[in-house]
Chain A
Amino acid sequence: MFGIDLGKYRTIVISIALFLLFDLGVLVLNFFISSEIASDAVNVNLAGRQRMLTQRTAKLTLQLQNRAEAGVPQEVELKELIGAFSLFDRTLSAFESGGETASGDGKPIRIAAVDDAIAQSILAEARKLWDPYKSRISAVIERGRADPDAAGALVVQAEAANLPLLKLMNDLTTRVEELAASKATLLRAVQVAGISLATANFLIILFHFIRHLRESDRELERARKETDDILRTTQDGLFLLDGSAVIGVQHSAALEKVLGTKTLAGRSFYDIISPAVTPKTLDTTREYIDLLLRHDVKEKLVASLNPLECVEVSIAQGPGEAESRYLQFGFNRVFESGKVTHLLVTANDITRRVRLERELKASEERAKGQMGLLVEILQVEPATMNQLLRSAQEGLQHINRQLREQGSAREVGGETINAIYRITHRIKGDSAALGLASLATSLHSLEDILTGLRERPVLSGEDFLPVTVRVKGLFEEIEAMHQAVARVAQIRGVISVEAPRPQHDPGVEALPFVKRWKDFATRLADEHARKVELGYHGIDMETLPESLRESINSMVNQFIRNSLVHGIEDGDTRKRRGKPEAGRISVYISARDDGGVDLSFRDDGQGISVSKVREAAVRAGRLTAEEAAAMDSRRIVGLIFEPGLSTRETVDEDGGRGAGLDSVKALVMQLGGQIRIGSTPGEYCHFRLSLGALPSLARTVSEDEKEAEEAAA
């Protein structure tokens, strides 16, 4: 319509136009009919006046006759007769064929011919009566006076015409009134029809549009709710920026958390970020946003320039404490009619991601650094290493005390430097002796600084700053080595439970309990057509309390039996596997510093077959086939300590009842301790038992044994 796209308002505009059209139609008709009624009213008045003029004319003819007979002047009556006569005549003519006459107040008035047939017939009859009457009157008027004869003849004419004319004028008045009334009725009908149409139109508009508006409202409400839900629940900070970089009225709830600021709507984006970013970043951000708002610049081209891709901001946390957070802002253009009107901005707190990336990087760096360190550490006995690290740490603490005791003295004595130098040199020597090149290099660099300081005639406290910085670095280096040593110990524990090797004391082989074990092993070996050698390292069992001694003896016997029955292969098999013909059993017992006892029992037999244990567990009804299949190897191996479980299919005096290792487990539980098993199929089986701390044992450990332990720890 008129080149304007009315869209969804088209119908309502048409309806309102119709409404106005109806109103206008009613108005025009009203105007037209009203003017008709007005002219009819004039006609009614004029017709009424015609009645009056017939009477008046008749009356004047009688007065004129009286005057003529009395012979008195008759000018006044004659003049009045002329007025009445001519007014009647003009009005009659005007009714018949339209024309001018005088209104009630004497002013000229033009009226249209009465177009009603009935009225015209009345007028025609009136004309017939009027014309002879008019001739008589005209003759008198033309003479200027009336003699008694002429007056008498006029009276006769008047008497003949007066009543019929009066009646006709009366009829005309009535007819004209009827015409006016019928027009008023038409006017009312038109008004009623017009108003009805307008009302109907209004009702259509009302119902149609209220329904549409309600639907629209519902849709809007639904859309608003969806938007609200999105903005309330999204974890991203979402908001719109207008052309002046002002934040829109709506934004996601998460935005306040991300930016750490409330009341964001309507505020300048720059004002919000300016306290958190550098002035340079702020300037670049302005330029970037300006570029994005220009529709002639391609978005993809400028995307890589985003200065807020990862921006670090500082958030105050408490007294003197600030937390660094990393925010990421993403900008997308919002177009309307091909023009960029807004920018949709997403703001995210990526602190966790950034920190993880950095930690990963740092961890990789550390790992690289530690590799070299690990190689050095692996070449040194753990106990020696620990001793060196302890000694180095103490040395550094001593250096730090020296520095601290200087306090804020302006001049520092040369003795302090010498003392620090001595400690540094000692640690360096120890490190170099153990092949710890990196530590030795760091210490050497500290020595260089100290040498430089020694050569200065006067020293101030500040001159010691590089020393303190190096000492801190050395503390950290030594802590890293401690960690590496701990890690190596862990790795050793995972790879193998190889018992620490004590210095060999040939005397222990001759101890009575060792001899008994050797005899027992040899006897069993003979019975099973095997060859075996049992070796022992460790403490004299006689130093242990009797009950513990007996328990250990019992456990070792069980392990020997287990080895000969399940572990050590026959000579041929061993040869095939590249092993010495005689199986080797190593037993080691040591007392720990905490008063506990460690027992290590190892044979170089065929090891534990996980599949055989699994089968045995199913055979013994301990597990279903499915459970056994699902269970991991560690737990399966653990089953060999369960009562009634043997991998041996036949029973004899030495095995097959599954009643051997469960007794070991029972003893360990009784003493308080734990069992670890290490085994490689076809190579070895190793049981390592840590038995509970017994205060009485601690005292029995000799100094030599302690050293042996440390060396092997």
Chain B
Amino acid sequence: MADKILLVDDEEDFVETLAERMRSRGMDVSTCTSAVEALEKIDKKAFDAIVLDLKMPGMDGLEALKRIKEKNSKIQVILLTGQATIEKTIEAMKLGALDLLEKPADIEMLTEKIKQASSKKMHLVNKEHEDKIKKIISGKAW
């Protein structure tokens, strides 16, 4: 099954071109240009990974990251930034980002990160299922 990716960046020409390239690599890509839209989208569709711009008007990437993780801690987030400072990188990692990439990003590297993200999510989901099953099994008096 194709990885379901959400691209979030206020530069519309950037997200659209990147999305087209990712689709040609077999990914199922949705796009939006603000963090608020992104939060609405994740309510309606289950994404494996979100690629998020750090600096956006209104709600910035870090705030969006925090809210995404609050909604669903399993979704993996990769941040994109114009200038990656050490402070921002640390902050992003603390908030649970999988990685932080500097723009202009190399698509092969981004694809690699997305694969990592999706397998990490898969692992988390499997673990959750496993835990649920274990709980059911231990709860039953066989």
Do A and B pair up? The answer is no
Interface residues of B, Cβ cutoff 8 Å to A: none
Interface residues of A, Cβ cutoff 8 Å to B: none
